[in-house]
Amino acid sequence: MHREILDVIRRALEEDIGAGDVTSQACIPADRRASGTFLARAPLVLSGINLLPAIYEARGGVEELTISHHDGDRLEEGTRIATVRGLARTLLECERVALNFLQRLSGIATLAHEFASMVQGTKCRVLDTRKTTPGLRRLEKAAAACGGVTNHRMGLFDAILIKNNHIAAAGGVRQAIENSRAAGLPIEIEVRTLDEMNEALANSATHLLLDNLSPQQAGEWIGIIDGRATVELSGGIDLDSVRSYAETGADFVSAGAITHSAKAVDISFRLELL
């Protein structure tokens, strides 16, 4: 497991447990054993289940952990996701952190699946964005991929995306493109007007980002581009509009809502004494 994820788990447990779970320590004998079951309380696409072993290991481990489903699985209400056996105090210490990860990440995967389903039958693919919870990007992008969308760049370091502020700072579209070529990375440029679009194409831009256009406008601009560049559409695209944007002929649509507005799904944890 990536060290960033292990660090996130450690910090989440420290944040919740602190100096100790005073409630469990006060009312539950130290040697009391129990079993717990994670249940889907609504239809969902699962993500984050692979975190459970690391969560329990960080608190001393458990006797047995049985994972019944995998990331990316579509589950119906009432489905048993996983069961765990061990010290009752350990199970209770880890309960909220485990649920927080599962509910949040499965919520993203579930919303991502809805977006991906809406563009089926078109050539368009849905992209996620960098609009993620600080510190959780690796996990949230993995969850988006579980739901069937395509990961855009992980961060500022793995691809060039020239946006309007970069264009202003560089001194124009042509200069921004020319300055970027030496980096040897994929280059995408945002264009806000037809003049900017034509200038980008004249300077051999191969990936254009068209932002905040209506589906009708986007279709018109894509017609002018006529296959000379790959096209991504962005700007307030949601479940109600994504199909219309996909039908414009765009190669990609990006939706920040997949990560910044996903609703946590309902997953419960039921504990029983052994």
pLDDT digits (tens, 9 = 90+) for 69-105: 999 999 999 999 999 999 999 999 999 999 999 999 9
Among the residue ranges 27-31, 90-94, 117-121, 157-161, the one predicted with the least confidence is 157-161
Residues 181 and 235: their CA atoms lie apart, in Å, by 26
pLDDT tens, 9-68?
999 999 999 999 999 999 999 999 999 999 999 999 999 999 999 999 999 999 999 999
pTM, two decimal places: 0.96
Mean pLDDT of 245-253: 98
Query: Distances from the Cα of 157 to the Cαs of 34, 130, 165, 185, 236, in angstroms?
Result: 46, 12, 17, 10, 25
Active site residues: 96, 131, 163, 190, 211
Q: Where does the pLDDT of residue 185 fall: very low under 50, low under 70, confident under 90, or very high at 90 and above?
A: confident
Report pLDDT for 171. 95
Q: List domains and CATH numbers for the chain.
A: 3-115+263-269 (3.90.1170.20), 117-260 (3.20.20.70)
Residue 248 CB-density burial (10 A; 0-12 exposed, 13-18 middle, 19+ buried): buried
Share of the chain above pLDDT 70, in %: 100
